Chain A
Amino acid sequence: MEGQQLAFLKILSKAITTFISIAITMLGLLLVTFVIGRVMPIDPVLAIVGERASQATYDAVYNELGLDKPILVQFSYYIWDVLHGDFGDSLLNARPVSEDIARVFPATLELATLGILLGVILGTPLGVISAVRQGSWIDQVARFIALVGYSMPIFWLGLMGLLIFYGILGWVGGPGRLDIFFEDIIPVRTGMILVDSIIAQNGVVFRNALSHIILPASLLGYYSMAYITRMTRSFMLEQLSSEYILTARIKGLSERQVIWGHAFKNIRVQLITVIALSYASLLEGSVLTEIIFSWPGIGSYVTTALLSADMNAVLGGTVVIGLIFVCLNILSDLLYGIFDPRSK
């Protein structure tokens, strides 16, 4: 009984420390964006009232924005707003930034999810095989893929893909999510066109959407595949050199059982962590990919806002991307803790 209580207390204290460290990281993240917003050479009041406003109007808006308060109070207002999903209004179209982000986010989610699926489906087996057949031609191919993936500018590879598969071969749809005459046909439910068209049971739109997403998703998939292959390979090599594998072989298990039933089973946890991290890094890759493919996601939203000095939108997008990044990192830590009995 006492032992149980002790174990419970241990878990509780661990949970509290984890929670505090997460909270501090998030707070720091908001502090960075807050400071960036403060030192911007753009006057937020002027951006709202315009240059011809009277001093009284200017002051009124100045006070309304809370700029007369001490900086710490301003920061707490900022946190309060962000916690309520309020990133201010876009200076460009005067709509709330949070609405804009909610509108563009599904496009990024759809792209990144398809990308990571491709990366996992191709990368994991490739990594396992290249570890099992170390030095074989498959291993060399895997090494080459990883090396190229780490060295090639993603936006350039995207352009080349467009040139070859769209411009010359005409196998895929061009930039954008749909051909123009398919737009606004199906009702928006999730914002992800592939899912929406399945719900609406519209095969024509689905096929068209697929022809548009396949190239950018393969591009992102290639980069996550490069990473996942390399990590899977090194995890597998570590397992295959352990003694229990030798034992399993001596017992006469088939090679397939040794590799998939024993070694691979033991790297699943590490693999999940890698996949979560890779998913997070796709957010970064999607910024440039979205620009190349005119994909209306959060990456192109932030970049467009940046080029038109729409600071609320830039900071809102940065905070959202940062928070997702942190959450995925924490998630992978938690999964590791749950699935790996050694870490308990």
Chain B
Amino acid sequence: MSNLPIQDWLLSDEPTSRRQAKLSRLFKGWVAFQTNVLAMIGLGILLLLIFVAVFAPLLAPHDPFVQNLGNRLQPIGSDQHIFGTDSLGRDILSRLIFGARITLYIVVLVAIIAPVVGLLVGTVSGYIGGVVDMILMRITDVFLAFPRLVLALAFVAVLGAGIENAVIAISLTAWPPYARIARAETLTIRSSDYICAIRLQGAGPLRIITKHIWPLCISSLIIRVTLDMAGIILVAAGLGFLGLGAQPPSPEWGAMISEGRRFILDSWWVATIPGLAIFAVSLAFNLLGDGLRDVLDPKSGRS
């Protein structure tokens, strides 16, 4: 098999620049990742989700908000409506497509907020140690002491129902595990020789944490975030289902299930289809997370 020049450059054993070494490592990881069929399926589903979310207005056959009471509860596979219509005559497929935007919105925001908070708390706690460490870890323990959904419910009670508040509530309940991971990583890194060397060169704590500790925490955090996203989607959908997340007429998938629940015995598809969508995305994150763990974390290996 003849390699393209770019592949030769990427697979070179003697990288000539730092950038080449970095890209080469990424490329080798990608090659290893590609052999994992399930992880590739997961990645495919997520790429599809992003594609659908971005091009929702072009893909959706109908307006997701337009009601047509004369056309309500059309069964699956009927003319014009592949997935049927809901109790207000809205096209389920179109709502599903626009719902992808909401799911993506929640996932991206939580994936940005929670790990960053956890990283900050964990590294500061681990690096400074002593009283600060004790206090921060106690706070972390307290947040871990609540079941996630119940605490999110209590936060939503304060903040009021709505999608932004659901994101905040979920982030508030999601950060503690990241803080634990980041702290553990920091503790092992803190006393290593190269950190001492940098400190002797005069680097301050801020520089050590941001430039030398954070980059090493990232890979274990990424794995954890990807695996957690599955659970976070389920919590978000649960909040939507309880009527505490996205508000009607928003086509959030959890809220769509809650709407279809009333007609479950006669019109099963109204609740079934959005559930399958949630399942697919959540499954995709689980598969991708497992794959990433195999590539990024050679220690754990395949269990």
Q: Which residues in A have some Cβ–Cβ distance to B below 8 Å? A: 24-25, 28-29, 31-33, 36, 39-41, 147-148, 150-157, 159-160, 162-163, 167, 233-234, 237, 280-281, 283-284, 287-288, 291-292, 302-303, 306-307, 309, 311, 314-315, 318, 321-322, 325-326, 329
B138-A314 in contact (CB<8A): no
13 contacts between A and B (CB under 8 A): A24-B138, A25-B145, A32-B146, A32-B151, A32-B154, A36-B157, A40-B157, A152-B279, A155-B237, A237-B303, A287-B149, A288-B149, A302-B150
With a cutoff of 8 Å between Cβ atoms, the chain A residues found around residue B81 in the complex are none
B244-A306 in contact (CB<8A): yes
Q: Which of A151, A280, A284 contacts B282 (CB 8 A)?
A: A151
With a cutoff of 8 Å between Cβ atoms, the chain B residues found around residue A287 in the complex are 149-150, 153, 238
Answer yes or no: B297 CB below 8 A from chain A CBs: no
Decide if the interface of chain B is mainly helix, strand, loop or mixed.
Answer: helix
B275-A28 in contact (CB<8A): no
Q: A151-B230, A329-B145 are in contact. Are A159 and B150 (CB under 8 A)?
A: no
Bound together, the chains give a CA A325 to CA B150 distance in angstroms of: 11
Bound together, the chains give a CA A287 to CA B237 distance in angstroms of: 13
Nearest-CB distance from A37 to chain B (Å)? 9
Residue from A39, A156, A283, A329 with most neighbouring chain B CB atoms (10 Å): A156
Q: A156-B257, A287-B149, A306-B153 are in contact. Are A163 and B265 (CB under 8 A)?
A: yes
Answer yes or no: B264 CB below 8 A from chain A CBs: yes
Q: A28-B138, A326-B145 are in contact. Are A39 and B271 (CB under 8 A)?
A: no
Nearest-CB distance from A229 to chain B (Å)? 12
Bound together, the chains give a CA A151 to CA B303 distance in angstroms of: 19
Decide if the interface of chain A is mainly helix, strand, loop or mixed.
Answer: helix
With a cutoff of 8 Å between Cβ atoms, the chain B residues found around residue A309 in the complex are 157
Chain B 253-265 per-residue mask, 1 if CB under 8 angstroms from chain A, else 0: 0100100010011
Bound together, the chains give a CA A311 to CA B158 distance in angstroms of: 9
With a cutoff of 8 Å between Cβ atoms, the chain B residues found around residue A159 in the complex are 257, 261, 264, 271, 275
Nearest-CB distance from A100 to chain B (Å)? 17
Q: A25-B138, A28-B141, A284-B148 are in contact. Are A163 and B279 (CB under 8 A)?
A: no
Chain B 234-260 per-residue mask, 1 if CB under 8 angstroms from chain A, else 0: 100110011110000000001001000
Q: A151-B230, A159-B264, A284-B149 are in contact. Are A291 and B242 (CB under 8 A)?
A: yes
Bound together, the chains give a CA A277 to CA B157 distance in angstroms of: 26
Answer yes or no: B272 CB below 8 A from chain A CBs: yes
B141-A318 in contact (CB<8A): no
Nearest-CB distance from B23 to chain A (Å)? 33
Answer yes or no: B286 CB below 8 A from chain A CBs: yes
Nearest-CB distance from A252 to chain B (Å)? 30
Nearest-CB distance from B85 to chain A (Å)? 19
Given contacts A147-B283, A167-B265, 8 further A-B contacts (CB under 8 A): A32-B142, A150-B286, A156-B275, A284-B148, A302-B150, A306-B242, A307-B243, A325-B147
Chain B 147-170 per-residue mask, 1 if CB under 8 angstroms from chain A, else 0: 111110111111010000000000
